[in-house]
Structure 1
Amino acid sequence: MNVIDYFDRARIINIASRKDRRLETEEEFARNGFHIDDEKVGFFKAVTPTEGEGFPSVGVRGCFLSHLGVLEEAMRLDLKNILILEDDIQFSRRISQYGKQAIEALDGMDWDIIYFGHPVETDSSMPTWNVVDQPIHLAHFYAVNGKCFGTLRDFLLQILERPPGHPDGGPMHYDAALNTLIHQNNAIRAYYFTANLGYQRPSRTDLHELSFFDRVSVLRPVIGMLRKLKARNLRRTR
């Protein structure tokens, strides 16, 4: 059993127009021996709204709605849990070893939200699950337990109904929404694995304004190639 197959379902959020990201993610899964069968493990077509509706950008709103969509699908299927990834995932070179340790340690744990990928710097020489005691930025590789589906879904819907700047949390980045729920609700049991098992692969953003190099058509292939080279180098070191 590996960290992907351990869960009832795994969904990879991907915008239909980002065929480049989909292909690179398929290669990333194959490189690490993970199988995408389009049922237990498959892609989720990202929501692509045309208006920001109070969110920092249209892309941020689309990301938020896409994670909500994965959660609602999991509820319709009556799943026990769901693993959620974004299509810029790059796995740690130690994911086979440490991923096995992570899922073995989950047996017997009472958890609601767990992070396999995160930017928290910890001593990972003896990896373990730590309680989330600080904001966890990014939501590219995490899981939600079935008993938390309704609580998280209802909280996200409340955010959609609130105006920007609402004291309880209005439209925001999805990772910030998870952090807000964990902070506001002491009953939520959230953990992160101290050995970071997944990073964001260097890739053109869909959430923010494009850089100069991505806006200029003649430069776009060059910056794309440089990102691929960077990703290849990073696979050797993290």
Structure 2
Amino acid sequence: MNVTDYFDRARIINIASRKDRRVETVQEFARNGFPFDHEKVSFFQAVTPSEDNGFPSIGARGCFMSHLGILEEAIRLNVKNILILEDDIQFSRRISHYGKQAIESLQGMEWDIAYFGHPFEGDSSSPTWKAVDQPIHLSHFYAVNGKCITRLRDFLLQILERPPGHPDGGPMHYDAALNTLIHSNKDVQAYYFTWNLGYQRPSRTDLHALSLFDRTPVLRDVMGMLRKLKAMNLRRIR
């Protein structure tokens, strides 16, 4: 069983204008033997708002609303769990072996949120699930289980109702919202797999203001080529 097989649904957030990311993600899935069947595993068209409405940026609001939209879809479909990815996902070269190990272990656990991708360097000699004990500032490769799907959806809706700077948490980056839920509710069982199974592929950002290199047509093409070369190199070593 691979990582995507275990979940009722897997959704990959993609902005319609980012066909480059969509193509690269399809290639990434094929390279690792993860099938697309357009029902169980498919792209989710990202929300693209025109105003930030108190969020750190328009892109941050779009990211937040896109993850929320996936959770709402999962509730409508009455799924028991869901895997959520962003379209800059790059899988670890060892995901075939360690991914199977992660899923086999997860099947015997009580869990609410599971991070397959994160910024930590774990012990590669004995990969295992570890309770989240510090903020995880990424949300590109994680899963939500059981009743926590509705709980997380409701929590995000509460955030939308609050003004910026609210003491309980107003509009914020989506990964910060996940951290806020986990660290303010000790009964939420959140884990990360100590061998990082997925990274963010080098790619032009949609969340922040673009640099001069990405705003200038000729330089943007050069940057795209350099990022592809970097991704190829990273694929060999991590």
1:7-86 aligned within 5 A: 7-86=7-86
Q: CA deviation at 1:107?
A: 1.6
How far, CA to CA, are the matches of 2:106 and 2:141 in structure 1? 16
Q: In the alignment, is the contact (CA less than 8 A) between 2:13 and 2:43 conserved in 1?
A: yes
How far, CA to CA, are the matches of 1:44 and 1:107 in structure 2? 26
Q: What amino acid maps onto 1:83 in structure 2?
A: L
1:5 partner SS? helix
Q: CA deviation at 1:218?
A: 1.5
2:6 partner SS? coil
Deviation by residue 1:98-121 (Cα, 9 ceiling, x = unmatched)? 000000001220000000000012
Q: Which residue of 2 aligns with 1:205?
A: 205
Deviation by residue 1:61-106 (Cα, 9 ceiling, x = unmatched)? 0000000000000000000100000000000000000000000001
How far, CA to CA, are the matches of 1:122 and 1:29 in structure 2? 24
How far, CA to CA, are the matches of 1:99 and 1:79 in structure 2? 21
Gaps of 5+ in 1: none
2:148 partner SS? helix
Q: Which residue of 2 aligns with 1:111?
A: 111
Q: Which residue of 1 aligns with 2:161?
A: 161
Matched length: 238
How far, CA to CA, are the matches of 1:28 and 1:149 in structure 2? 27
Deviation by residue 1:122-174 (Cα, 9 ceiling, x = unmatched)? 21210000000000111000000021011101110010111111111110000
How far, CA to CA, are the matches of 1:74 and 1:99 in structure 2? 23
State whether structure 2 residue 139 is matched by structure 1 residue 139.
yes
Q: Which residue of 2 aligns with 1:93?
A: 93
How far, CA to CA, are the matches of 1:146 and 1:73 in structure 2? 14
2:209 partner SS? coil
1:219 partner SS? helix
1:133 partner SS? coil
Q: Which residue of 2 aligns with 1:230?
A: 230
How far, CA to CA, are the matches of 1:54 and 1:208 in structure 2? 15
1:218 partner SS? helix
Q: What amino acid maps onto 1:60 in structure 2?
A: A
How far, CA to CA, are the matches of 1:149 and 1:84 in structure 2? 12
How far, CA to CA, are the matches of 2:149 and 2:93 in structure 1? 31
1:4 partner SS? helix
2:217 partner SS? coil
CA RMSD of aligned residues (A): 0.6
Deviation by residue 1:189-223 (Cα, 9 ceiling, x = unmatched)? 00000000000000000000001100011111110
2:143 partner SS? strand
Q: CA deviation at 1:235?
A: 0.2
State whether structure 2 residue 12 is matched by structure 1 residue 6.
no
How far, CA to CA, are the matches of 2:236 and 2:124 in structure 1? 17
Q: CA deviation at 1:31?
A: 0.5
* TM-score, normalised with respect to structure 1: 0.99
